[in-house]
Amino acid sequence: MGDDHGAAPMVISKDHRARPPRIRTPLSKKVASVLRWFPGYAWQRLRRRTPAGTVHLILAVADHFEPAIVPDGGAMARAPYDEQERRLESWCREYPRLVDQWRDPEGRPFSHTYFYPAEQYDKGLIERLAQHCRDGWGDIEIHLHHGVHAPDTADNTRRQLLQFRDCLASEHGCLSYWEGSGPPRYAFVHGNFALANSYKGRGCGVDAEMQVLADTGCYADLTLPAGPFHPAQTGKINSLYECTLPLNQRAPQRRGRDLQRGRPPSVFPVIVQGPLLPDFVPSKNSRALTIENGALTRANPPSLRRLHLWKQARISVQGRPDWLFIKLHCHGMDPTQESAVLGAQMRQFLSELVDGATERGEILHFVSAREMVNIMLAACEGREGNPGQYRDYRLKRVAATVAQPQDGGTSQIVLKG
């Protein structure tokens, strides 16, 4: 989808005649890919126990947010600018209408973290999205496609990240700051899932990319899972961890030390993974074994059935099993996926999610990527009580507000870093 798109702009016609041929992965390679991570899943099933009693579900959506996306259009494709404006304006209008009715116990709406491509920066589009976020419907963080046609360099990657980071912070009031001061900090999602040159040399080219991220203020990477058959998928799954391999080495995210209560992380960016696990129960859409990877798509929209699988991944800080972290991902600007993220399927899911939470023994917390990481850090430092109170624990916005219920509910406090 959008993560197949590169940096150079080009408009293609709606009939997509420039569409590249689809590349099918041979069955033998699919099996080999699954065998890379399946032993880790089996070990987790043996080791991770279902927490007793009520659980806190901390849910975030990493939206690979590309207004210029042309589905299956190829690496050079870009939608016309007026179409990008139309898509974004429609999203900012329709999304609050969709989610406003269903909130967590703290009054927070189900929000997206908009990982916007650095190579597609447009001041007007970003400012419109930033206003949407200032109104309380999410956060903007950094996405990047690079090295698509030729390997990128560490120096160029550093320059591009710093320019976009500082532009988001100074021009648009986005991003966060450690304890409210210092240089801007950001969360990251890599285009094509090729984090730290892990995609067989494609879509990156920078072995030391994780070090570049660390040097430029990245506090968390939310790229993974890449997918069950993707060459960049790590054997380590369903985890929150800090890299233990050198950050200037290719793909240091392959190895890591799990975040643990009583041991704050010292290596950043921390890796925040979404769920990846087999689904052995036949569904109405498929009688074969399927793989759950947390992607919200038209073919696989959100549902309570999938919620059960997300919980089954048991992604948590060790020693805090009752705080479950569920990081999902989507392409919100992909018009072919609209029904899953902005339509009736999402509306039904949110209704069932919120209305049935108490009966399922769940306390919901709708968070951004930044808020999710803050809660993880609080868990590592042994904090107790309601995880929702740690949304601004270490990484703080200079000023952030929460969207008001559109029926005129009580006013919200302005949070200051």
Backbone conformation region of residue 182, classed left if phi is above 0, alpha if psi is from -120 to 50, else beta: left
Residue 298: count of CB within 10 angstroms of its CB? 14
Of 99, 168, 90, the C-alpha closest to 136 is 99
Pick the CATH number of 54-416 from 3.20.20.70, 3.40.50.300, 3.20.20.140, 3.20.20.370: 3.20.20.370
The answer to whether the Cα torsion of 231, 235, 238, 244 is positive or negative is negative
pTM: 0.89
Query: Is 131 within 8 Å of 393 (Cβ atoms)?
Result: no
Regions in the chain scoring below 50 on pLDDT = 1-22, 400-402, 408-417
Rounded distance, CA 124 to CA 270, Å?
Answer: 31
Q: Tell me the three state secondary structure of residue 84.
A: helix
pLDDT (0 to 100) of residue 398: 74
pLDDT at 40: 83
